[in-house]
Amino acid sequence: KKVDSINDKIVQFFKYVASFLLVIVGLLILSDVVLRGAFNKPLIGVPEIIANLVVIIAFFQFAYAVSIESMLRSDFTIEKAGPRFKKFLDLLSCFLGLIFFVLLATSSYSSMIKSFISSEFEGHASFRFPTLPLKATIFLFSCLTAFTYLLLIISKIFNLKK
């Protein structure tokens, strides 16, 4: 129960960070459009920053979506099932989510380490953006989301309520 509570606080915190980053994305887009339209001087690097921030925002939200059980699923199919089959489908969905995010974390680990060791950047000569924040976010938040799925599976198997 305590681990679940700590996990909930962490995913809630990053939900708010993601919301803040979304406001930043909106302001960057607005600034770029205004500067481009009024002065024909776009902000350099805005497309690269936004492309990276959108992915980071999504990964910040995944664990929260899992913790409130709102990841994508077909409620129509599940609601038509009996209680035992519904529980089976819920558990199957959680196991598949756990496997997916474990595989994603596993496959992104070496890329993150390579990015850290080589100080990898992307972009063109006038603006270069480090790839480590994005790659670290994908790895760390895949781990957090997998852990959140694991907690959800344990809670469903042992009928623990939040």
One-character DSSP codes across 78-118: HHHS-HHHHHHHHHHHHHHHHHHHHHHHHHHHHHHHHHHHH
Round the average pLDDT of the chain to a whole number and report it.
93
Q: Answer yes or no: is pLDDT of 73 > 70.
A: no
Residue 103, number of CB atoms within 10 A of its CB: 12
**How far is it, in rounded angstroms, from Cα 77 to Cα 81?**
7
pLDDT digits (tens, 9 = 90+) for 88-110: 988 999 999 999 999 999 999 99
List b or e across 104-141, with b for residues whose CB sees 16 or more CB atoms inside 10 angstroms. bbeebeebbeebeeeebeebeeeeebbbbebbbbbbeb
Helix (H, G, I), strand (E, B) or coil at 123: strand
N-terminal to C-terminal alpha carbon distance within the chain = 8
- pLDDT value for 78: 72
**How far is it, in rounded angstroms, from Cα 154 to Cα 162?**
12
pTM of the model: 0.91
**How far is it, in rounded angstroms, from Cα 31 to Cα 33?**
6
Mean pLDDT of 42-53: 93
